[in-house]
Structure 1
Amino acid sequence: MFINNSIFFLDYIRILRPQQWLKNLLLYFPSFLSGSIISIEYPFQGVMPIIAFCMGSSATYILNDIIDSDNDKHHPRKKYRPIPSGTISKITAAVLALLLLCAGLTFATFSVSIRFSLYLVLYLLVSTLYSLKLKAVPLVDIFCIATGFIIRLEAGGEAFAVPISDWLFLTVFLLALFLSIGKRLNEKLNLGNEAKCHRKSLAGYPDGFLDGAMYLTGGAVLVTYSMYTLSRSHLFYTVPLCCFGLLRYIFRVKSGQSGDPTESLLKDVPLLLVSLTWAAIIGWRLYF
Structure 2
Amino acid sequence: MSERGTVLLDLPDRPGRRRSGPFARPRARTLATGLLRTARPRQWVKNLLVAAAPAAAGELDSLHNTTHLALVFVLFTAAACAVYLVNDARDAEADRAHPVKRRRPVAAGEVPAPLAYTVGALLAVLAVAGAAALCNALTGALLTAYLSMQFAYCLWLKHVLVVDMAVVTTGFLMRATTGGVALGIPLSRWFLITTGFGALFMVAAKRYSEAVQLAGDKGATRALLTEYTTGYLRFVWQLAAGVAVLGYCLWALESDGGPGSGGGASLLPWRQLSMIAFILAVLRYAVFADRGTAGEPEEVVLRDRALAVIGLVWAAMYACAVAGL
Which category of TM-score, normalised to the shorter sequence, fits these structures? over 0.9
Does the 8 A contact of 2:165 with 2:203 survive in 1? yes
- Report the counterpart of residue 40 of structure 2 in structure 1: 17
TM-aligned CA deviation for residue 245 of structure 1: 1.5
| Separation of aligned partners in 1, 2:209 and 2:101 | 15
Secondary structure of 1:193's match? coil
Instruction: Say which of 57, 68, 85 aligns to 1:45.
Output: 68
TM-aligned CA deviation for residue 107 of structure 1: 1.4
More helix by share: 1
Instruction: Say which of 275, 285, 290 aligns to 1:239.
Output: 275
RMSD: 1.8
- Report the counterpart of residue 182 of structure 1 in structure 2: 205
Question: Which is higher, the Rg of structure 1 or of structure 2?
Answer: 2
Does the 8 A contact of 1:48 with 1:107 survive in 2? no
| Separation of aligned partners in 2, 1:121 and 1:36 | 25
Instruction: Say which of 112, 115, 138 aligns to 2:161.
Output: 138
4+ runs deviating over 3 angstroms: 1-9
TM-aligned CA deviation for residue 271 of structure 1: 1.6
TM-aligned CA deviation for residue 40 of structure 1: 4.9
| Separation of aligned partners in 2, 1:40 and 1:136 | 44
Secondary structure of 2:120's match? helix
TM-aligned CA deviation for residue 281 of structure 1: 2.1
| Separation of aligned partners in 2, 1:206 and 1:258 | 17
TM-aligned CA deviation for residue 213 of structure 1: 1.4
Alignment of 1:123-272 (within 5 A): 123-231=146-254, 232-233=261-262, 234-272=270-308
Give the % identical residues: 27
Task: Confirm whether residue 88 of structure 1 aligns to residue 97 of structure 2.
Answer: no
Does the 8 A contact of 2:60 with 2:66 survive in 1? no
Q: Using the TM superposition, name which of 255-264 and 80-89 deviates more.
A: 255-264
- Report the counterpart of residue 65 of structure 1 in structure 2: 88
| Separation of aligned partners in 1, 2:293 and 2:59 | 37
- TM-score normalised by the chain length of structure 2: 0.83
Q: Which has the higher contact order (CA 8 A, sep 6+)?
A: 1
| Separation of aligned partners in 1, 2:301 and 2:189 | 26
**Residue segments in structure 1 that go unaligned for 5+ positions in a row:** none
Instruction: Say which of 114, 130, 136 aligns to 1:107.
Output: 130
Q: Which amino acid aligns with 1:243?
A: I
| Separation of aligned partners in 2, 1:253 and 1:242 | 17
Q: Which amino acid aligns with 1:262?
A: E
- TM-score normalised by the chain length of structure 1: 0.94
Aligned length in residues: 288
- Report the counterpart of residue 310 of structure 2 in structure 1: 274
TM-aligned CA deviation for residue 168 of structure 1: 0.8
Q: Using the TM superposition, name which of 154-163 and 127-136 deviates more.
A: 154-163
| Separation of aligned partners in 1, 2:77 and 2:66 | 16
- Report the counterpart of residue 28 of structure 1 in structure 2: 51
Does the 8 A contact of 1:108 with 1:116 survive in 2? yes
After superposition, the C-alpha distances for 1:162-201 in whole angstroms (9 at most, x for unaligned) are: 1110011111110111111000000000011212221121
TM-aligned CA deviation for residue 79 of structure 1: 0.8
Q: Which amino acid aligns with 1:131?
A: C
